[in-house]
Amino acid sequence: MRSTQNKRVWNNWLSGAVVVAAVGATAMGQCEPPLLSSYDTPNLANAVFVSGTTAFVADDLRGVGGLRIIDITDPTQPALLGSYDTPGYARDVFISGTTAFVADGGNGLQIIDVTDPTQPALLGSYDTPGSARAVFVSGTTAFVADNWEGLQIIDVTDPTQPALLGSYDTPGSARDVFVSGTTAFVADWWRGLMQIIDVTDPTQPALLGSYDLPGSSYGVFVSGTTAFAAGGLEGLLIIDVTDPTQPALLGSYDTPGSARDVFVSGTTAFVADGESSVQIVDITDPTQPALLGSYDTPSHTDGVFVSGTTAVVTTGWEGLQVIDVSGCEPSCRVDMNDDGRVNTQDFHVFLTAWSSDNPIADWNGDGTVDTQDFIAFLGDWVAGCP
């Protein structure tokens, strides 16, 4: 288990002196999330989407299988509710209301009614020109990462008659897609790009910008003005997309495996790290992500979805792993001496670091210790911890 904890400031009140200590790679304080349960799906569990107390799994092997619907009301005892065998290779699933959208490989998009999860029924389908790898639904529009055919944009207002609105041919192989507002973010795997596409008019999608990852581009998740990219052997990359025409790297975390998927919940990123693990990363300061903990899965890890304090992970032949991540919450940054309280002692620690230009006092992460950091810290200190 590896860690990239940042330099921290410790206050030694017993001796009456303020000590500034550099704490490097250490396992101190890392969480070890416990397994709640597992569910062995019959094929390869590729991706999962959780809606309420139900997990929807794209579970397929070379066209055998499809959608599995699993009750996780009691996460210690998951139970099959129903299933629907799709005609293609189920790679991904997205739930909108009572409808499941399945990226079904060479058979495009499958649209399934899951109003009664014990009896899922096909509503309609759209045969995309490529091989559907991932799907994201926003309102009445489905966005499909269609491998070598780029991004396909499909009107699903009437799910029984889906219709193509537009498409954008990315330069590589579209592996994943995330839509935020009127912008689509595409993980363009083979070229190692994150393509940022304006879909204000879905009939005429237009490139806004792109970010060239140092490795492959497997997955993408967007929170506010920050994009999180699963970059294969390069781990987790955190990208500022405030100006989508000029995306800029904020920070990165080199996971030990090959990052295949990422899910962000609050100030924590959960990375499906390929070779048998989930890495849990504190992104409170996106310029300095730090390991909170990890969970070793029994097999290859391709997908992760977090609901509340529960992470549901797809592990190929081993199906689903349901993990309790309640103990993996980031510590409060403004609690400078880690005593669990925010008080004048923390202010004293920061002031000492700030006065000596210690990098720990670079509160806004701009590379300079100045009055702006003091103002930023003061605001956080007044707000306290959740």
pLDDT mean over 370-386: 86
Question: What residue segments make up the domains of the chain, in order of their start?
Answer: 8-27+332-383, 35-324
Q: Do residues 43 and 64 make contact, with C-beta atoms less than 8 angstroms apart?
A: yes
The encoded tokens of residue 30 equal 């890392």
Predicted confidence at residue 64, as pLDDT, reads 87
Residue for token digits 């903990």?
293
pLDDT in tens, 299-345: 999 999 999 999 999 999 999 999 999 989 777 778 877 677 888 88
4 has a pLDDT exceeding 70 = no
Burial (0-12, 13-18, 19+ Cβ within 10 Å), 103:
buried
**What is the pTM for the complete model shown?**
0.82
Q: Do 236 and 252 contact (CB within 8 A), yes or no?
A: yes
Q: Give tens-digit pLDDT for 120-155.
A: 999 999 999 999 999 999 999 999 999 999 999 999
Looking at per-residue confidence, does 349 or 181 come out higher? 181
Please report the DSSP string for 281-343 in residue order.
Answer: EE-SSTTS-EEEEEEE-SS-B-EEEEETTEEEEE-BTT-EEEEE-TT-PPPPTT-TT-SS--S
Domain 35-324 of CATH type 2.130.10.10: yes
pLDDT digits (tens, 9 = 90+) for 70-107: 999 999 999 999 999 999 999 999 999 999 999 999 99
pLDDT of residue 354: 87
Q: What letter represents residue 221's amino acid?
A: F
pLDDT digits (tens, 9 = 90+) for 139-196: 999 999 999 999 999 999 999 999 999 999 999 999 999 999 999 999 999 788 999 9
Per-residue model confidence as pLDDT tens digits over 8-22: 333 332 223 222 222
**Contact present, 196 and 208 (Cβ < 8 Å):** yes
